[in-house]
Amino acid sequence: MSQDAELQEAREQIEELRKQLETAAAKITDEHKLAQIGRLLASIVHEINTPIGSILSNNQVVARSLELLQKALASPQPAALEKAKEIVETCLSLTAIDKIACERISEVIRGLKTFSRVDSTELRKVDLNEQIQNTLKLTHGEFRRRIVVETDFGDIPPVECHPHILNQVFLNIVVNAGQAIEGEGKIVIRTRREGDCVHISISDTGRGIRPEDGPKIFAGGFTTKAVGVGTGLGLSISRKIIEETHRGTIDFESQVGVGTTFHIRIPIEQERRTGAD
């Protein structure tokens, strides 16, 4: 075989390996997302089950009330009419409660939907404040009472991005923040426009990152969490999504015993890339 042909063959093999590596990386990203949602599942189910329970019990009361109403309407007595009015009022207040319960369910579903898109190549212009708010629906049940989550959303323009994978980054960092807080604490999420970028900061009042761990946290496989709690892949995947996919930046500042802030900066418009990119 000529040298040229050998070179060509080697190039093709490298290209083939590169593609395999890319597919494997995408698979790891997807699996991490599913595992993270899986770990939150018990609290997500609870968030949905509670309002469903209230709708079901209201439904029984409404059904019984309607039977009584039927009887009351069959009687021409003025007292029966009074009773009928009362029953209608009860039913109206129960439907108002049901409406709130349905809204709570659809909020959680909206949170889940932001993660269910599979069209990973799609670039869209989205309101990141809304995306973050939807992502927070998934941790709401988990943090309930223990952690206060505050949002300080600025007036930011729509950002061109791959929202479903960006949400995976927000979820990972918010979950990390929650896991860093022992007992009660606070997470603050702030968004601001910064020139051609949007700056998102996620601060927690958790245990902080030891200076000697700082350089390691973005490396794949580094975790200080127990087996089954963390795989150590979250931040390495997050960095890839922010820096490679969106050409943004991600960094952090931390003080042991005080807390940690992660800073993410994403360009408002993605550069048009060449076909080889």
Ligand X SMILES: Nc1ncnc2c1ncn2[C@@H]1O[C@H](COP(=O)(O)OP(=O)(O)OP(=O)(O)O)[C@@H](O)[C@H]1O
Nearer to Mg ion, 168 or 172 (CB): 172
Nearer to ligand X, 35 or 109 (CB): 35
Q: Tell me the residue number closest to Mg ion, measured at CB.
A: 234
Q: How far apart are CA 235 and CA 169, in angstroms?
A: 8
6, 75, 176, 255 from 224: Cα distances, Å: 46, 72, 11, 16
Residue 153 interacts, among ligand X, Mg ion, none and using kind-specific CB cut-offs from 5 to 8 Å, with none
Q: Provide Rg for the chain, Cα atoms.
A: 26
| Residues contacting Mg ion: total by CB under 5 A | 3
Among 34, 176, 11, 50, CA closest to 116: 34
Q: Does 217 bind ligand X (CB under 6 A)?
A: yes
Nearer to ligand X, 72 or 177 (CB): 177
Q: b/e for 114-132, b at 16 or more Cβ within 10 A?
A: bbeeeeeeeeeebebbebb
Q: Does 234 bind Mg ion (CB under 5 A)?
A: yes
- Contacting range for ligand X; rule: CB under 6 A; set: 45-53, 54-62, 112-120, 176-184: 176-184
- 244 in Cβ contact with 265 (< 8 Å): no
* The binder of ligand X chosen from 43, 55, 192, 232 (CB under 6 A): 232
Q: Show the tokens assigned to 84.
A: 């009928």
- Contacting range for Mg ion; rule: CB under 5 A; set: 8-16, 45-53, 85-93, 166-174: 166-174
Q: State the residues that interact with ligand X by CB under 6 A.
A: 172, 176-177, 180, 204, 206-209, 217, 222-225, 230-236, 260
Q: State the residues that interact with Mg ion by CB under 5 A.
A: 172, 176, 234
